Amino acid sequence: MKKICPTCKREYRSIENFCTKCGIELVKEQNKCSEMRTELCKTMIFADEDMYCSICGAPTTYWKDEIEGRKRW
C-alpha cells in the first residue's frame, strides 16, 4: 500500500510516515481502479478490502500492489 504527501504528492511505501521533502505526515493512498479504463473508473474509490473495480473489472490499486508483492517473493 502506498502513502502520499498531501502537499507535494510524492509517493512512499508503507514504512515511511513523513515526507522527506516537506516534513508533512503522509496519508494512505485511496484504493482506486488500477487501469482507469473508463471515465467512471477515474471517480471510483473502493474500500480497503475491495479487489476489483466494479466498473471495468480491473484489479484495484491495493490488490495490484498485493499481487506484485507476492511475485517478488
> Can you give the pLDDT at residue 17?
95
Regarding whether 21 and 35 lie in a shared domain, the answer is no
Regarding whether 60 and 42 lie in a shared domain, the answer is yes
Per-residue pLDDT of the chain (73 residues; tens, 9 = 90+): 789 999 999 999 878 999 999 999 999 989 999 999 999 999 999 999 999 999 999 999 989 887 777 665 5
Q: How far apart are CA 44 and CA 26, in angstroms?
A: 22
Regarding whether 65 and 51 lie in a shared domain, the answer is yes
Q: How many domains does the chain have?
A: 2
User: Which residue is it, cell 473508473?
Assistant: 41
- Is the CB of residue 47 less than 8 Å from the CB of residue 64? no
